[in-house]
Chains A and B, each alone.
Chain A
Amino acid sequence: MHIAEGMLPAPYAIGYWIGAATFVAAGAKSLAKKSREIPMMKQLTGVMTAGIFLVSLLPIPVPMTGTCSHPGGTPLGAILLGPAITALMSIIALLFQALFFSHGGLTTLGANTLTMGVFGGWIGWALFWGLRRLKFTLFWSGFVAGMIGDIAIYVGTSTQLALAIHGTHPFGEVFLAIFTVFIPTQWPLAILEGIFTGLVLKYIAEHRPDILILLHVLPSSASRAELSERGMTR
């Protein structure tokens, strides 16, 4: 759910652009810093962004509704590369979507980056690490992070839309109306995003645990022993 070109009043669009630019600048700084530590970080970020962009092209059949949906991937990006870099990845993926498919837009790029890259990324990242500290497995931590991260994106977009169109009507009521309209399609999507995030993390842990260690998603020595015990290393 991206806000289309021209839907936001200019002052809002500019404000969101400034807000997003701050986070994207922080992401660029973080990427530069991490690149010094991990030399392949730029390539990894580029490939992950391309992967996230392409995953958003894969329609997944949604049970019951009879429709197809696709995951966003920013909670996963935040878990793997950090929430700061996710803002940078999001603005790039959204730019491609706006230019190639007219999904979202250039003037609303700031607003969409804030919801997808910042809300979704940071909330997903915080939940993942919170649950990991509570000893949840990689899959379940990823599942909750992905699902709630997706809902956070949806809440953020509903807030932006309600702020833009509420006029003289109370903001809360307009927000609730928009939120309610999209519940039937967004909840199955959020669950799918959770499954997608959890499964991808599980897959990487099983096939390339060294990547998770390199990205500090798993602690180095302890996790190697843990993975070895579970037969997760190659």
Chain B
Amino acid sequence: MDLPLWLQKNSPLPTTPSLVASPSSKKKRSNFIQKTLEGVIHFVQESIYSEEIALRPGFLQTMDPRLKFLAIFLLLITVNLLRHLPLLWGLYFGILILAALSKVPSRFLIQRVWLVIPLFTGLMVLPSLFNWVRPGDPLWLLWTFSTPFQIGPLHFPAELSITRQGFEGEVLLISRVGISVTLAVLLTLTTRWNNLLRALRTFFVPKIFIVTLEMTYRYIFVLITLMEDMFFARKSRDAGQSSGAEQRRFVGSSIAHLFGKSLQMSEEVYTSMAARGYTGEIHTLQKFQLRWVDVFSLGVSLMACLTLYAADKVLGG
């Protein structure tokens, strides 16, 4: 599954004059094969690194996966109910301590969440920052038009400003999103995938759902090898810049081939499973061991959630 280092970097730009892109087309130089390979490498590296962290002897790693899932889900709900930033960031500080106790590198956790989330979430709710979408007290006046105007059913006041309510709402939302994602990342980093799936079984999740989930997870790695091979072969033959039409044609045929292969594979897997005695039931040998320290940890988590919720109510607003 490892790609040579030289393949993980951008292809050198062509030197043949006819193949060199004009300065105006600089932004078109991004190579989709490169992006795909980077996506594949990123996925595999993340999976391997997650498994590595999940095997470390940390606090959350040793906790029963069922209770850990429940505790983190309770915290997730609490984060979404809180409306005061000091409480949210206090909880985040607690999560970082938990991560440190679980031998999860804090820098990795912070970078993984906060480098992307604020930008992505901010863009999604950007319109609500302005008085044209969400009226409120003006915080920064951006522009004043001569008269109010109307486009179709939309009425726009003459002044365009960022409102206090919009700004506060955006900060609260980004904080909630970032802290929630941190919790989800912490859960996946400290739990082996198979254990997480088996933990789901105890929460009345139908067996057929878990079986499909397990199969999907395994097939992802099989199909990703196939996809990597296709793009690896293409990259090895790639000289110069392909035109947009060529790129689309290649991606189109790759997708169709991937689906064709998927269908063929499902048939083969079923036949081999049936030959080994598969009747539709999945059996596992491992059993979870519930410890008092796990129950105590869940209790602490529940108390923390209730306290934070009560504090949020007391602070009002």
A residues apposed to B, CB below 8 Å: 3-10, 13, 24-25, 28, 31-32, 35, 39-40, 42-51, 53-55, 57-61, 63, 66, 68, 71, 88-89, 92-93, 95-96, 98-100, 102, 105-107, 161, 165-169, 172-174, 176-178, 181, 195-196, 199-200, 203-204, 207-208, 211
Contacts and interface: CB of A to CB of B under 8 A. Distances in A.
Nearest to B42: A101
A92 B39 contact: no
Interface in B182-209: 184-185, 188, 206, 208-209
B304 interface: no
B212 A45 contact: yes
Contacts of A28: 206, 208-209
B109 to A, nearest CB: 12
Contacts of A181: 126-127
Nearest to B200: A95
A96 B270 contact: no
Tell which of B77, B121, B124, B135 has the most Cβ of chain A within 10 Å: B124
Interface string B219-247: 11011100100000000000000001001
Interface of B: 27-28, 30, 32, 35-36, 39-40, 43, 46-47, 73, 76-77, 79-81, 112-113, 116-117, 120-121, 124-128, 132-135, 152-155, 165, 169, 173, 176-181, 184-185, 188, 206, 208-209, 211-220, 222-224, 227, 244, 247-248, 251-252, 254-256, 258-260, 262-267, 269-270, 273-274, 280
Given A39-B270, A207-B260, A165 B216 contact: no
B211 A172 contact: no
Contacts of A173: 133, 153-155
A7 B258 CA distance: 34
A42 B127 contact: no
B36 A58 contact: yes
B269 A43 contact: yes
Contact of A44 (B73, B179, B266): B266
B224 A200 contact: no
B73 A106 contact: yes
A44 B266 CA distance: 5
Contacts of A106: 73, 76, 180, 184
Contacts of A43: 215, 266-267, 269-270, 273
B280 A35 contact: yes
Nearest to A211: B263
Nearest to A89: B212
A13 B120 CA distance: 19
B177 A5 contact: yes
A172 B152 CA distance: 12
Is the contact region of chain A dominated by helix, strand, or loop, or is it mixed?
helix
Contacts of A40: 266-267, 270
B212 A42 contact: yes
Contacts of B266: 40, 43-44, 46-48
Contact of A49 (B40, B135, B152, B212): B212
Is the contact region of chain B dominated by helix, strand, or loop, or is it mixed?
helix
B247 A61 contact: yes
> What 3 A-B pairs come out closest when comparing CB atoms?
A46-B215, A50-B219, A6-B176
Contacts of B121: 4, 7
Contact of B223 (A50, A66, A207): A50
B119 to A, nearest CB: 11
B274 A39 contact: yes
B153 A176 contact: yes
Given A6-B180, A58-B255, A106-B76, A100 B43 contact: yes
B216 A59 contact: no
A6 to B, nearest CB: 4
Given A7-B121, A39-B274, A98-B184, A44 B220 contact: no
Given A92-B213, A100-B43, A177 B248 contact: no
A172 B81 CA distance: 26
Contacts of B220: 50, 53-54, 96
A28 B212 CA distance: 9
A55 B258 contact: yes
Contacts of A32: 208
Contacts of B181: 4-6, 102, 105
